[in-house]
Structures are given as C-alpha cells and as structure tokens.
Amino acid sequence: SNNNSGTVSKRESVFCQQFQQYAQQLDAVNEKRERIVKASRDVTTSSKKVIFQIHRINRANRGAALQQAERDLHAVQSIHVRRVAQELKANETWKYKRAFSPGMQEFVEAATTLEFCKTGKLLTLQQLNASLSHLKDVSDAPFSISTGDYLLGVADLTGELMRLAISGVAAGQREVAIAVCGFVQALYKGFSQLPNTVDIRGMPKKMDLMLQSLIKIENTCYAVHVRGLEYPEDMIVNALEHEEIDSDQEA
Amino acid sequence: SNNNSGTVSKRESVFCQQFQQYAQQLDAVNEKRERIVKASRDVTTSSKKVIFQIHRINRANRGAALQQAERDLHAVQSIHVRRVAQELKANETWKYKRAFSPGMQEFVEAATTLEFCKTGKLLTLQQLNASLSHLKDVSDAPFSISTGDYLLGVADLTGELMRLAISGVAAGQREVAIAVCGFVQALYKGFSQLPNTVDIRGMPKKMDLMLQSLIKIENTCYAVHVRGLEYPEDMIVNALEHEEIDSDQEA
Amino acid sequence: MEEQFAEFRAELDETGSVYEQLRIIAANLDSFIRLMQAALMPIHHCSFPQVKEKVKGYMSDLCGLYAQLAHVIKDKPGQYYRYHDLWRNQTSTVVFVLAFLHWLDTGGLLTHTETEALLNLDPAVFGIDLEDYLIGLCSFSNELPRYVVNRVTAGDYNCPKEVSTFLGDLYTAFRTLNLRNDHLRKRFDGIKYDLKKVEEVLYDVKIRGLLNGPSLQATATGNESNVATSHQ
Amino acid sequence: MEEQFAEFRAELDETGSVYEQLRIIAANLDSFIRLMQAALMPIHHCSFPQVKEKVKGYMSDLCGLYAQLAHVIKDKPGQYYRYHDLWRNQTSTVVFVLAFLHWLDTGGLLTHTETEALLNLDPAVFGIDLEDYLIGLCSFSNELPRYVVNRVTAGDYNCPKEVSTFLGDLYTAFRTLNLRNDHLRKRFDGIKYDLKKVEEVLYDVKIRGLLNGPSLQATATGNESNVATSHQ
Amino acid sequence: MEEQFAEFRAELDETGSVYEQLRIIAANLDSFIRLMQAALMPIHHCSFPQVKEKVKGYMSDLCGLYAQLAHVIKDKPGQYYRYHDLWRNQTSTVVFVLAFLHWLDTGGLLTHTETEALLNLDPAVFGIDLEDYLIGLCSFSNELPRYVVNRVTAGDYNCPKEVSTFLGDLYTAFRTLNLRNDHLRKRFDGIKYDLKKVEEVLYDVKIRGLLNGPSLQATATGNESNVATSHQ
Amino acid sequence: MEEQFAEFRAELDETGSVYEQLRIIAANLDSFIRLMQAALMPIHHCSFPQVKEKVKGYMSDLCGLYAQLAHVIKDKPGQYYRYHDLWRNQTSTVVFVLAFLHWLDTGGLLTHTETEALLNLDPAVFGIDLEDYLIGLCSFSNELPRYVVNRVTAGDYNCPKEVSTFLGDLYTAFRTLNLRNDHLRKRFDGIKYDLKKVEEVLYDVKIRGLLNGPSLQATATGNESNVATSHQ
Amino acid sequence: MEEQFAEFRAELDETGSVYEQLRIIAANLDSFIRLMQAALMPIHHCSFPQVKEKVKGYMSDLCGLYAQLAHVIKDKPGQYYRYHDLWRNQTSTVVFVLAFLHWLDTGGLLTHTETEALLNLDPAVFGIDLEDYLIGLCSFSNELPRYVVNRVTAGDYNCPKEVSTFLGDLYTAFRTLNLRNDHLRKRFDGIKYDLKKVEEVLYDVKIRGLLNGPSLQATATGNESNVATSHQ
Amino acid sequence: MEEQFAEFRAELDETGSVYEQLRIIAANLDSFIRLMQAALMPIHHCSFPQVKEKVKGYMSDLCGLYAQLAHVIKDKPGQYYRYHDLWRNQTSTVVFVLAFLHWLDTGGLLTHTETEALLNLDPAVFGIDLEDYLIGLCSFSNELPRYVVNRVTAGDYNCPKEVSTFLGDLYTAFRTLNLRNDHLRKRFDGIKYDLKKVEEVLYDVKIRGLLNGPSLQATATGNESNVATSHQ
Ligand SMILES: [Mn+2]
Ligand SMILES: [Mn+2]
C-alpha cells in the first residue's frame, strides 16, 4: 500500500505536468471569455438604457434628449465596446462570438434606433463600423461588427420602432407611425430576400417577430388613416391645433 | 343613463334568478368535490405513513410492528375512507372519481403491501372490498373500490416490494428478494395480459415502471444467487450464522 | 392470482366495448353538429327566418343521436360521468347553437332545463352537465361581437345596444357563480372581451349619432314588435 | 442519531404544515378577491358612490385575510419569500382594485405605502412586494380604455381627457424604471396600448367638438367639486 | 449474418441516396420559394401588375425544381408518400403564392387541377397532395386581413367588401368538408378569424360612410372593368 | 367553388375511410401483439417448449391481421408509405417476438425475408420495411441482458457465453451499416449497452469459476444437442 | 408620481444589484468547493491524516465565503429564501465534505448544528436549510460503497463492518422521516443501494473468513485506538 | 437600403457555400471514423497487434480528410471557430480511438500535441481544439471498464490493477482543471463512475486471490516486457 501510494504520487506528477499546460490554456480561454461576457453584458445593459432614453423623447425635450442619447451611446462605445475589442485578436472573433454577440446586437439596436430618430434613415453597417474604427483590437486591427450581429440587431430595431409608432400615436404624433411603417416595410423586404443561412442563429424566429411588429404598425396606420377620413382635413387641424401644443407640454 | 341603469338592474334580477340555481348546483358539486379531495388527501397521507411503517419492520420488531401497521391501516379505513364513502351516492362515483382515485390507489397500495408482508400473497379486490363492506355510502349501499383504482394501486405495490427486496438483501435477508421476485413476476404477467383500456389512465406508464422494478428485483436475486455459489452452502451458513443474529439486533 | 386477472380481463373487455359504441355515436354527433353550426353561421349575413327554419330542420335527427347515447347509458346506471368526455365538446356546441337561435327568436336566455327539454332528454337518465351548458353559453357570447359588427355594417344600428345590455346581464349573472380555476373560468373570462368589443361598437354608433336613427327605417319595414325583429 | 432525526422529523413536518396553512389562506384570499373585483366592475355602468360603498364594505374582511398570512409569517421570520408565490397574483389583483377605487375617488395614484396602510400591513413583518404592486398598476391601466369608452357612451365627454392625462403621466413614470426583460416589462409594454386607445377616444370627442360640452350638464347635476365627479 | 447485412447495407445506402437527392432538391425548392414569397409580399404596398410580373418570372424555374422531384420519384413508384414530408411545407407555400396571385388577377379561386397544371405536373407520377393544397388555401386566407388593412390605408375602400364576400364563400365551402381533428382542421378554424377581421375592417369603412366613396376616384383612373382593377 | 369542394369532399371522405379502416386493423393488431408479447415474456422464468407452443399458437391469427392490412393497401397502389406510421411500431414488435423465438429455437438470426415469409406477406404488395425489421432486432437485443440474468439465476451458467457471442456478432454486423443520425441509429447505439451488460454477467460467472460447471449437470439431463437446449 | 417612481427605480435597481452580488459569491463558492472536494477524494487511496490536513486547510477560506453571503443577507432581513436557490447545491456539497471528514475522524455523524458551527454561521442570520443538510448526507452515503471497496482492496477488512453499521443506522434514522415525493425522497431512496453494496462487500469478507484478520496487522502498526484508525 | 441588402445577400451566399463544402467533408469524416471505431472495437476480444495494424491502416486516409478541412479553412483565416461545430464530435471520436491505441501500445497518455502530430495538422492553420481533445479522453475512459471486464474474463487478472492506476491518475489530472458547468464537466464527471467500476473489478480479483496469479502464466508466454504486453 505504501509502495502503491508512492507510485501514485510519481505517476500523478507525470500526468499532472501535461495537464498543467491544459489547465493554463483552459483557464486563459475561460477567463478571457468571462471578461468578454462581462463587457458584453455591460454593453447590453447600457445600450438598453440608451433605448429607454430614446423612448423618453417627446416634442418638448427632443433636442436635449437626443443629444443626451447620443452622448450615452458614445459612452457605451468608447467604454464598454472598447473593452470587448481590446480582448480580441483578429482570428479570435469567431471563437468568442457567443460571448459578445448579445452585446453587439443590442448596441446595433440602440445605434440604429437613435439614427432613425435623428434622420429617419437606416444606419448602415459601413457607417457603424466606420464610427468604431478607432477601436483597435489586440493586433491593432480596427474592430468591427459582423454582418450577422448587425442583421440580428436591426431585426430587433423593428420592435423598438413599433413601440415608437404606437406611443407616437398615443401622444398625437400620427406622422411617426406613417414614417415608421414605410421604413419597416422596406426593412422587412430586405430581410425576406436574404438566403436562409445557418450561420445567423435565431433569424427565422426574429423574422416572425418582425412581421408581427410590422402588422401592428400597419394596423396603427390604418386606424389613423380611417379616423382621419371622417372629417375634412382643415376641420381636424382646427379641432386639434391648440390641443397638440397641450399634449407636448404634458408629455 | 338613469333609465339605462334602471333597465340593467331590472334585467339583472331576471337573469340572476336563473343563475342563482346554477350557482347553488355548482357550489354543491364543488364543495362536495372539495370535501372528497380533502378526505382523499388524508387517505393518501395516512396510507403513505402505513407504508413507511412497513418499511421500518425488521426481524426483531416484526410482530409488534406488523400489528401496529395493521392498526394504522384500519384507522385509515375507518376514519378517512369512511369520509369518502359518506359523501357518495351510488351513481356519483364516476362523477367524483378524479377527486378520490388518488387516495384509493394509495390505500390499495398500503393494504396490499401489508398483506404481502403478512402472508406473501396478493390481497384480492374481493377481499379488500369485503373488508370495506361495513362502510356505507349515502344511499346505504356498501362502498367499494373500483377495478381501475385497485389495479393502479397494485401496480404501485411493485415499487414498494422492490424497496423491500433491496433493503432485505441489505439487511442480510436474502430470502425476501426471492419471494418478492416470484410474486412480482406473476403480477407483471397478469398485468401484461390485460387489454389496453382508455379507462385506466396512466396504466402504460405504470407498466413501464413495474418492469423497471421487476428488473431491479431480478438483478438483486441474480447477485444473491451468484454470490452464494462461490462456497459450499454449509460453509456459508457457518460463516454467517452468528452474524445474522447480530444484524437482527442492529436493525 | 390468475383467476382474478381473468375476471379483470373480462370486465375490461366489456368496458372497452361500451366505450367503443359510445365513441361511434359521439363521432356521428360531431359531424352532425358541424352541419348544424354551418346552417346557423349564415345568420351573419342572411335573414333570421331563413336560418331558423334550416337549423330547426336538424332538430329531430339531433334528438335521435342523443337518444342513442342515452340508450347505451340507461343500461349502465351511474356511469354517465365515466364516458362524459366523449360528448362534452359536442354538447357545448349544441347549447351554443340552440341558445343563439333562442335569443334571436325571443331576445331571452335559453335555460338549462329548456335545453334538455328541446333535446327530449330525461335528466334522470341522461341530462346535460351544467358546466357543458355554461360553456355553451360562453361560446354563444364569443359569437356576438362578430354578429354585432355585421349587423351594424348591414345598417342595423340598434343592435349594439340590445346586445350590450344582454351580454352585460349575462356577464353579471356569470359573476355570481363561484368558479374554480378551471376551463369554465377561462371561458368565462372571455365574455369580458366580448362585452368590451360590443361596448366599443355601441360607442362607435353612439358618437356618430347613429343610434335610433336607422330604427326609423326599420320601422318603415314594419319590424318593430320585439327584440328579434331587428335580426331579420 | 435517533434524537437528532426526531428533531429533523419535527422540523420537516412543521414546514409542511406551514405551507399547507398558507395555501389555504391564499385560496380563501383568491375567492374573496374575485368578489371584490365583481363588486368593482359595475363601475362601467353604475354611479361611483354606489360601487365605492360596496367595495369598501369588503375592506375589513380583506385586511383580516392578510392579517392571517402575516400572522403565520410572523412566527417564521425571514420566510416571506419562501412562500411568496402563494399570494403573488392575489396581491396584484388587490392592488388593481384599490388603485382603481382610489383614482375614482381622488384622481390620484395610490402609492405603494398607502396600499400597505390600507391593508393594515406592517412592512417589517409582511409587506407588499414592489413588483406585485407595479403589476397591479398595469392591470388598473388595462381597465381604463373600457371605462372611457363606456363613460363617453353614457355622455361623459370629459372623461377621456382626464384619463389620458393620468395614464400619460403613469406611462411616463413607468418609463423611468429600468426594467429587465421579464414579466413586469411585458405588462408595462401593454400600458401604451391602453394610452393609444384612450387617445383615440379623446380624438373622436375633440374632432366632434364634444369636449367640455357635457361637463356643463355634469355641472348642472352639481358634481363639480373634484375629479371623481365625472365618474358618477 | 454478414451476407444478410451486406444486403441490408446496400438497401439502406440506396434509400439513403434517394433521400439525400430529394433532400437537396427540396432544400433548393425551399430557398427558391422564399424568394417567390418575398417577391409577392410587396403586394401589400405596391401595384399589382409590377408584382405579378416579378412573381410570374419565377414560374419556369419553379416548374424545373418540381420536375426534378418528379424525376426521382418516377423511378421509385409507390414511394411518393415515403418522402412526402420533404416537400409538404414547400408545396403548401407554393399553393399560397399561386392562389393569391390568381385571385388578384381574376378574383376567383385557383383550383387543385389548375395548380398542378401551372406547375406542369402529371398527377399520375407526382401530383399535389390534396391536403397540401388546402393548407395552402388556408395560408392564403391568413394573408387577406393584412391585405385589406393595407388596401384601405392606401385609399381603396371597396376592397373589404370584395374580400369579405370571397372569404365568406371560401369559409362556407370549407365547412362542407369533413375534416378530421388534425392539422388541416386547426388551419381551417383560422379562416374564421380572418373573416372576422375582414368584416371588422368592412365595418370601420361602412360606419364612417366610406363605402363606395373612393370608388369614384377609382373610376376616374379608369380601372373599373373587373375585380382585379381595384388592387392596382 | 362549390362543385370543386364537392370533389374535395369526396376525395377526403375516401381517404378518411381508408385511414379509418387501416386504423381499426392496426388497433386490433396492437392488442393482439400485446398478447403475443405477454405470452413470450414468461421465457424469463419458464421452459422454452412451453412458451414456444403458446406463441406459435398466435401465428395464424397474426397472419390474418396482416392479410387485412395488405388487402386494403392492394387497392391503393403506392400508398403503403402514406399510412405506414399506423403499423410501424406494431411491426417492429412482431419482429422482436419472432426473432427472439427463432433464436431460442435455432441460435440463429431470423432474416428479413424469413420474417415476411412467416407472416405470409408478399413484399410486392405489402412488405416489411427494412428499418422496422432492424428496429425489431434492436428490441430483441434489449431483452437479452434480462434473459441472461434470469438464466444464470436459474442455474444455466453457459448462457452468458452464448449470448455474448451472438450479440457481439449482431453488433459487429450492425456496425457495417451506414446509419443516418436518426431513430434507428439511436436504437443501434443501445445494443452496445446490452452487450456490455451481458459481458458483465459473463465476467461474474467466470470470476467465480462457474463457467462450464453446471453444463455438466445439463449433460446429465440429456439436453446437449444444440444451442437451444440450454434455454429450457 | 415622479418622486414615487424615482424611489421604485432605486429599489428595483437595488434588488438587481443584490442578486448580482450574491450570484458572484455563489460562483466563487462553487469553484472553491470543487477544490475542497478534490482534496478529499484521495481518501480512496491515501492515508487519512494527510487528506484531513489538506481539507481542513480550506476551512477558513470557506467560512469567509459564507460570511460574505451572510453579510449581504444580513442587510436584507427576511430575504434568505428569496435567493436561496443560488447556494443550495453548493451547501449540500459542503455538508457532504464536512460530514465525510467528521466521520473519518470520529466515526460519528456531523449534526446540523455542528455543521453551522463549523462554518461559523449564526442561524438567526444565515443558517443551513435542513433539506440542504439532509441532501448532503445522502451524497456522503453515496460515496461510502466506493470507499469500502477500495479499503478492502488495500487490505483493511474491518472497514465494511464499521461502514455497514454506520450506514444501517443512518438508513434507519432517515426512515423515521415522513418525506414527500420530492427530490429529497429520491436521494434518500439511493441510500439503500449503498447499504446493499456495502453489505455485499461485508458478505465477501465474512465468507472468506477475512473479518478481524487484517485488523491484527493494523494493530501491528499501532492504529487501534479509535474508529478512525482503520481509515489511515 | 437595397444596395446594402444586396451586399449582405452576396456575403451570405458565399458563407453558405463554404459551409456546404465543409459539411460534405465532415459527413465523409463521420462515415470514415465509424469504420475506424469498428476496427478498434474487436480489441475487447482479439489480440492487440491484429487490431493495431488494422486501425493504423486507416491513418493516411484520415489525415487526408483532415487536410481537406484544413485546406478550406486556410483561405478563411480566423474562421476555424465559425464552422467548428461541423467537426467537433468527429474529432473527439478520433482522439478516443488514437488515445486508446496509444495506451494499448505504450501504457501512456497520448498528449494533445502528439495527437495533432499524428494527424499531420499544423495548429497554426487547423489544430485540435483542446476541449475536443479532452472530451475524446473522456470517451476513452468510458471504454475502459468494459475492456477490463473482458480482459479478466479472458484470464488476464493483472489488467484491473494497471487500468485502475492509469484511470486514477487521469482522474486526478482532470481534477486539476477548472471546468465550467458545461458539457466537458459532465463528461468528466463520468470518469468517476468508470474508475469506480474498475476499482470494483480490481476488488473482485484481489479478494479472490487472483491478483498476480495469472501473470505467472503470462510470463510463461513471454509477455513481460512492458505494460502493453498484457493487452495482447
Ligand atoms: Mn429591444
Ligand atoms: Mn409507493
């Protein structure tokens, strides 16, 4: 038995030496992944806050609130997205993809929502990546967001636009719904022409949600349109004019 | 508006009169079901305690513990099963079946487990119902347990017998496992020849569990048998004799 | 042990055969009720008398099918609830059809007892379970918003008021029941949405000043005598 | 070892019995709250004072039931959240009823603390979980569109404006919370549909020049003093 | 045993290879139909002729893909249903697209035989399963409420009436079928909700006095000749 | 539209009726096979000749039921696979029973062709699907560990060696097949565990020096002639 | 309203942050306990004193981690069970390790109170849930068969007797509890398999007359003083 | 917007085509590895040199398939992990086969680097993921209990000791890794059961005094030189 445990100890050291290398490699990977996950969660949380901030915009505070959202978004980028970028070598993006994808998608969602509020246009992947090009990864190459993450983030944008359209109507800003409707129709068309790739997980489900949102937007536009037809245009304007100002102050 | 609410009140009374009858009927049914459910839960809980008590039997306390279990089982019957019986009219058994079936099944499980421990035989449905015949239902007809509940309860008995067989072996009583094995084989054969009826919910699943238990029992008997072959019978008896007494005292 | 199991086999075979008989009758009932329902549905766009005649034409066959169920059950006293699941849904649908027809005809609510009577059923042998009846009423309620929408589209602007009153009364009456957290409670919760929708139609009509307007036209066609008149 | 396990047995039996006690109280609470809710619902068609009296009549019994819960928990310090799921839904419904009533009475929002006070609860022993309170507010919001539709149908054209202002404030306030993607977030998302519906009714009333009209009539009946007057 | 398993191996390899061939064709079919469907969807916002041309442009390739399936099956008589699941969903979607297009064009229903003819299929070799066809019609029905909503938003106020009539006819026709309690029956039940939604749109248009109004404008642009004209 | 749907109705009714016929036969088959299987199971504890006779007694009725299936399918060429799911599981169980019996009798593997012959089936009309056959073999394999355990308990110490050799061969033979990642492959993976378990029993017997011992006793009773003798 | 919601926001943010803090401590606890468990496992082949020292060396850090949990909970009185799921499994594993060590040392059972004392826990603030403790004991039982097998292989023939007595007592004690059909009941059911395995080893040792033999050798090395001696 | 989506389409089409290429190679790899595994399995009953030759014969083709994967990936720097799932399972199985073979040959553990070398892989371009390697070792461990059982049955009584030592070392080595709660950790937990089973076999052999006995016989056949000798 003494002899036996002696043998065990000796053998142990042989095996364990090999495994110490493995342990180092695994630890390095796991720790890096853990850091990236944390950074990504921070990207998610702070991007969500930007989106909440955008939903708080109304006619009265529009200028200031938009500027605030822009500043917040820039902070997300220069603080948290940077943390992700600094962890990655160029050839590691796919290795840690699942660790940072959720954050990048939420960031895309926030950035594109903000852009739509500002200009009514889609922030393109090129524009977005250009704005990130000062973030360098470990190998000093510019950091960029992948097509997959961009598309999944833009798919979620639809849901936010639906919320904007409906609360727009709720606040008497019927023109928002109409603008959103055309925009989301175009988006949905673009998405539905994409090939069905295995690479972008969860796309079919997001497409379904996108269609549900689009239908809600269309129904909202329909309601606005039908209501608007009962009386002549100028009568509506008269009836609502001073009230609109009212609702600005309230909101 | 006054006129309107007046109308509402008047109409309300017309409808509500009809619905008061419905409410009474529904309440009566629900309250009775609730009372039966409670009685059935008490049957279940106290039957489970009888089964636990049976598992506590060993060679040393056998006589007294069996008597205790018998007394407990009789109490379940004369207190809680009686409460179920007293709620039912003859033609209501199927109406409230789901309310009392679980309790009856557990009661069958306890009664048949006890009978097996006493006699090594299956307590038949006739015997069981004969022992219940003094319990009268509302219409003064004797209360009885249905074939379905009996079969489902007996199916569960197998699981308890498996436990008895294995703890028997663990306590050095190898003959218990062998007795249980033959008994459960016969039971399983009986069950597997029954037609597949929709009436007895959950039977296929219970049959599966029964087979799993049977295989565990068979494996136990196999282990006992194979171990017993390494040395001549008398040598085993010698080696274990005084120890057996030992294990009695412990258990 | 073997004897006992032989008895059980015999007993279960017998039960299985009763079950099979009832299953076949219930399947026929199912097809038949789909036809009746199909005959009622045109009420959304056709005149009531036309629909009424068609649906009533099915009544004697329907009673025949229920008589078949009752006949089998008669020999198995106390086992109605053993096989109840086989005809639950069908019975609720029958109640829905009959209650809708009755309301169109009289503006009133078809009672539980009246339903059994219409089907020639002796409750001592084979009655209609109260919950099945109530679920049938819920289905009837679910159909009313669509009916109101179509009636208003067809120019009958008084219909929402009548339906809103009736449905409000029904909802209030249902509220007096103590429902458990079961299927019936979920179905009952649906009545609330039907009522809400009907109230919205009533609102639409009221705010546009259409209420009582078209009834004048209706008068012109001589359909003033009772609630049912407006459904023609 | 035996002694120790005798203690364990006692403790396990005790835990099971506490659970069973709370389960029964929660079931009673459930039935009771359905009654309260049923008493509140006529508000859609009846006058407020009548409804108010009826609902307030239930308050002392309600407090009694909560006192029972609190009593059991008091002896088990620190175990509120062990059993919390047993009374979550019921508490949200209570908040809905009380907040609706309070708003009808005062036009204001019933606060979290006020709710606990109304129920005679000592938050140190047994408080109302914040999320349960907020979900109750969402249910209250969901009821307002139907209320507005029925008020306008009954001729109260000022109601939409008041509700729209209140609901807009509530929505704005809710938006200041940072909600996770959970049940509460979903319920909150529903508020904007309520607001949209109320806004549509307000639009209908405005476009037809009805705003401020009927309130004059209301004045005539002497109900001008506070917000609640228009709800009668 | 070895010999026998060598035979089994040959048979399984053969089956596997047929399966693989069909799977690849079906995958191509799947991608292709996604594109066709994407080409049809702009009908909600664009003019019909434009969409029609685009979709029709896909037809010959589509026929080619079906010809490939038929070619493989031709050599395996009797095994259509062995592999049927591979192209079920795709075929239903094709039926949906073609039936929608046909209705836009003619206002009528594309028949089962016409569908096979459009796809150049010989039913003796490789036909379209009737259930797949009927499920395609259900999908077509599901799209109509959205279509009607968008048409009205675009100012075509007669569309709801036309669609409501067509869908009512389709619903009535479906009612004559004896459907088992399966997937098809569930899909059919959905048509009822489509019809209800379309009727609600018709109601909205009617109650606002819009019916027949805008058709005057339509007349002005000279698109009066057939049903399809209003979809441009 | 009506005419067309009348045709659809006829076709669906026809399909439904074939389905119903096959469903009933398959249900009978199901009950019947349960009995056969129940008759085979005592093999774990009884002597083989007794069990064999009983199971063989069921064969002609079994063939009759398959003849009924084949009769219906004969009139619907090419639709075997349309309804295949109705009898898949039953057929696999039949293969399991017959293959077990055959092995007990001869020590060999019942081939696919032999199975069809035993059931009087003409593969041109109604054969046994190869996968169903192979799944039946997997079920047979799954039963062997239990069989070996019970045989050893009954004192037959040579059984593990024989079964381990047979199962090893079967496992090796299966390995030569290219199975897709499907149900069959999962079932095949199970054979490995059966083999492992049988090897463990063999190990138990060997390590205790029991191997070949009791076979001397067996010799004494004169059952030496073939593999099957040891299973009595 | 704004102020109130500012408070709500603070409270919700606070709850989220507590959860996050506890989640991180629990994750550290998880890693740490794996180390402790790894330090204990060599007991199967090494001498006890060596292992004991190593494991005890972890105790102060372990107490530190529990102190962190307790510290967070201390400020949130009554919320132990709100977050309990976060440390359940870890705590059961701790109990397993400590109970095993204690038994090796003393031959007795580590009590619930002793466990809390070892971890420096004040049960009034942060105790060990009874079920978590009992599940830890089940895990301890599950490890004993392997321990016995390895001890006998290493020549310690008295170990099975001691373990069998201890485990028999534990099993008897557990049987006095009235367990519901839950996770704990399932884990408890496992103990009898452990006992059976240990009993089999004891049988092997007895039948071969090895019992009490090797203990003489053990005596020679001077390890006779207490139960624990045989574990070296 | 359209332009951008056109670019995305092109990009995704390209990705899809790379994916399809790799999928086909991986499918071939899959079939091929099944053959290799089938060639290794007879080790349970045959002599090692025979098996070794057969398995080694597959090596060059295996390297060829990996070279194909590497070739495609070479053009897509940094995208190894994009498609990694396609060859994960296959690679783990390869590691299992090679590590088993290596151990049989040398009694030692095949390292990660040695594995890559055996497969002619350049880790800078296409290496073996460390986790895949470790999972392969787990599969290797899972096979050892069966191996030991069969070796002992075949009379090699020293095998359990060697395997138990090796597996104990491997288990200890694995314990030094910090595994997350993932697939690898679950697989690692399985090694414990393998070790337990092997220890039980060692116990069986030891208690029966068989240890070192047969090795004398082995000596007789001249297989004494290294660990591997006993596996022939
Ligand atoms: Mn979002
Ligand atoms: Mn039980």
d(CA D150, nearest CA chain C) in Å: 7
Contact present, A243 and A168 (Cβ < 8 Å): no
Contacts of A95 in chain H (CB under 8 A): 80-81
Give the DSSP letter of residue E46. Answer: S
The mean pLDDT value for G217-230 works out to 37
Q: Which residue among F2, F11, F109 places its CB closest to the CB of E1?
A: F109
B231 interaction partners in chain G (CB closer than 8 Å): 207
Tens digit of each residue's pLDDT (9 = 90 or more) over F64-120: 999 999 999 998 878 999 999 999 999 999 999 999 999 999 999 999 999 999 999
Q: How far apart are CA C114 and CA G179, in angstroms?
A: 52
Measured distance between the N- and C-terminal CA atoms of chain F, rounded to whole angstroms? 70
Rounded to the nearest integer, the mean pLDDT of chain E is: 89
Quick check: A230 contacting E, CB < 8 Å? yes
How far from chain centre, in Å, is Cα A195?
Answer: 22
Band (G76; pLDDT cuts 50, 70, 90)? confident
Residues from chain C contacting residue E207 (CB–CB below 8 Å): 152-153, 204-205, 208, 210
What the block records as the tokens of C187 is 């179905």
pLDDT at D126 over 80: yes
E130-232 CATH pick, 3.40.50.300, 1.20.58.200, 1.10.630.10, 1.10.150.120: 1.20.58.200
Ligand nearest to the backbone CA of A152: 1
What's the CA gap between H227 and A7, in Å, rounded? 14
Model confidence over G39-62: pLDDT tens digits?
999 999 888 998 999 999 999 999
Q: Which amino acid is at B199?
A: D
C/E Cβ contact: 3+ pairs below 8 Å: yes
pLDDT for C44 equals: 94
Question: Under CATH, which architecture does the B149-251 domain have?
Answer: Up-down Bundle (1.20)
Q: State the Cα–Cα distance between residues C153 and E204, nearest whole angstrom.
A: 8
Architecture of domain A151-251: Up-down Bundle (1.20)
Positive or negative torsion for Cα G95, G96, G97, G98: positive
Q: Is the pLDDT score of B218 beyond 60?
A: yes
Residue F10, chain E, CB below 8 Å: the answer is no
Distance from CA of H169 to the nearest CA of A (A): 6
H207 with G152: Cβ contact below 8 A: yes
Model pLDDT for residues B56-86, shown as the tens digit of each residue: 888 888 999 999 999 999 999 999 999 999 9
Sign for the pseudo-dihedral over CA of H163, H166, H170, H173: positive
**How sure is the predictor about A196, in pLDDT bands with cuts at 50, 70 and 90?**
confident
Contact E112 F176 (CB under 8 A): no
Residue B6 burial (CB count, 10 A):
10
Phi first, then psi, for residue H212 (nearest 5°) are: 70, -15
- For chain B, the structural domain boundaries read 1-145, 149-251
Q: What pLDDT score was predicted for residue B227?
A: 86
A83 pLDDT more than 70 = yes
Given CATH 1.10.3720.10, say whether it is the number of domain A1-145: no
Confidence band of B239 (pLDDT split at 50, 70, 90):
low
CATH number for the domain running over E1-128: 1.20.58.190
Contact call for residues C170 and C188 (beta carbons, < 8 A): no
Other Cβ atoms within 10 Å of A235 Cβ, number: 12
Q: Residue C137 is which amino acid?
A: L
Residue G145 to residue G150: CA distance in whole angstroms:
9
> CB contact, 8 Å: B232 with chain F?
no
DSSP class of H83: S
Across the interface, whether the CB atoms of G2 and D176 are under 8 A apart is answered: yes
CATH 1.20.58.200 fits C129-222, yes or no: yes
Tokens coding A230: 């009962």
CA nearest to H131 within chain A = A26
Report the gap between the CA of B18 and the closest CA in chain D (Å).
18
Instruction: List the subunits that have 3+ CB pairs under 8 angstroms with A.
Output: D, E, G, H
Domain ranges of chain G: 1-90, 129-224
User: Contact at 8 Å (CB) between B169 and C34?
Assistant: no
> With respect to CATH, is domain F129-232 assigned 1.20.58.200?
yes
pLDDT at B3 over 60: no
Query: F127-165: per-residue pLDDT in tens?
Result: 999 999 999 999 999 999 999 999 999 999 999 999 999
Q: How far is CA B168 from CA B227, C7, C213, G49, in A?
A: 16, 33, 89, 36
Q: Does domain G129-224 have CATH number 1.20.58.200?
A: yes
C146 and E206 within 8 Å at the Cβ level: the answer is no
- pLDDT for position A250: 32
Identify the closest residue of chain B to G211 by CA–CA distance.
B239
Q: Are B114 and B54 in contact (CB under 8 A)?
A: yes
Say yes or no to pLDDT of D216 above 80: no
Q: How many other CB atoms sit within 10 Å of the CB of residue E52?
A: 18
Which helix (H) or strand (E) segment holds residue G69: the answer is: helix G59-74
What 3-state class would DSSP assign to G229? helix
pLDDT tens for each residue of H172-195: 999 888 888 789 999 999 999 999
The string of pLDDT tens digits covering residues H133-153 is: 999 999 999 999 999 999 999
Task: Indicate left, alpha or beta for H4 from its phi (over 0: left) and psi (-120 to 50: alpha).
Answer: alpha
For the ranges E54-58, F214-218, G175-179, the one whose mean pLDDT is highest: E54-58
pLDDT tens-digit map of E3-40: 889 999 999 999 999 999 999 999 999 999 999 999 99
Local confidence band at B241 (pLDDT 50, 70, 90 cut-offs): low
Q: Is the pLDDT of residue G77 over 80?
A: no
Pick the CATH number of F1-90 from 1.20.58.190, 1.10.645.10, 1.10.10.10, 1.20.1740.10: 1.20.58.190
pLDDT tier at C199 (50, 70, 90 boundaries)?
very high
Instruction: Write out the CATH class of domain D2-231.
Output: mainly alpha
Cβ-based contacts under 8 A for chains B and D = 9
Q: Residues F187-207: pLDDT tens digits?
A: 999 999 999 999 999 999 999
Whole-number Å distance between alpha carbons of B140 and B144:
12
- DSSP alpha helix (H) spans, chain E: 2-40, 48-56, 59-74, 80-83, 88-106, 112-118, 123-126, 130-153, 159-175, 183-207, 215-220
D27-63 pLDDT, tens digit per residue, is 999 989 988 999 999 999 888 998 999 999 999 999 9
Q: Hey, are the CB atoms on H196 and G146 less than 8 Å from each other? A: yes
Identity of residue A13:
S
Sequence-distant (≥ 6) Cβ neighbours of residue D129 within 8 angstroms: D84, D88, D91
Nearest-neighbour CA in chain C from D114: distance (Å) = 29
Interchain CB contact of A189 with E (< 8 Å): yes
Distances, alpha carbon B247 to alpha carbons B242, C30, F137, G164, G212, in Å: 9, 67, 47, 10, 17
Distance CA E70, CA E88 (A): 14
pLDDT tens digits, A159-177: 999 999 988 887 878 889 9
Among A226-230, C213-217, F176-180, name the one with the lowest average pLDDT: C213-217
Contact criterion met (CB < 8 Å) for A1 and G154: yes
**Which residues in D lie closer than 8 A to residue B4 (C-beta atoms)?**
45, 154
Beta-carbon neighbour count of residue B82 at 10 Å?
Answer: 18
Q: For residue H150, give the nearest of F172, F199, F207 by CB distance.
A: F199
CB atoms within 10 A of CB D201: 23
- pLDDT exceeds 60 at position G24: yes
Q: Are D25 and D66 contacting, i.e. CB atoms less than 8 angstroms apart?
A: no
Task: Using pLDDT thresholds of 50, 70 and 90, give the confidence band for residue C232.
Answer: very low
Categorize the per-residue pLDDT at A240 as very low, low, confident or very high, splitting at 50, 70 and 90: low
DSSP annotation string for chain D = -HHHHHHHHHHHHHHHHHHHHHHHHHHHHHHHHHHHHHHHGGGGTS-HHHHHHHHHHTHHHHHHHHHHHHHHHHTSTT-HHHHGGGTHHHHHHHHHHHHHHHHHHHSSPPPHHHHHHHTT--HHHH---HHHHHHHHHHHHHHHHHHHHHHHHTT-TTHHHHHHHHHHHHHHHHHTS---SSHHHHHHHHHHHHHHHHHHHHHHHHHTT-TTHHHHHHHHTT--SSGGGGG-
Residue E219 has pLDDT above 80, yes or no: no
- How close is the nearest chain B Cα to the Cα of D114, in Å? 33
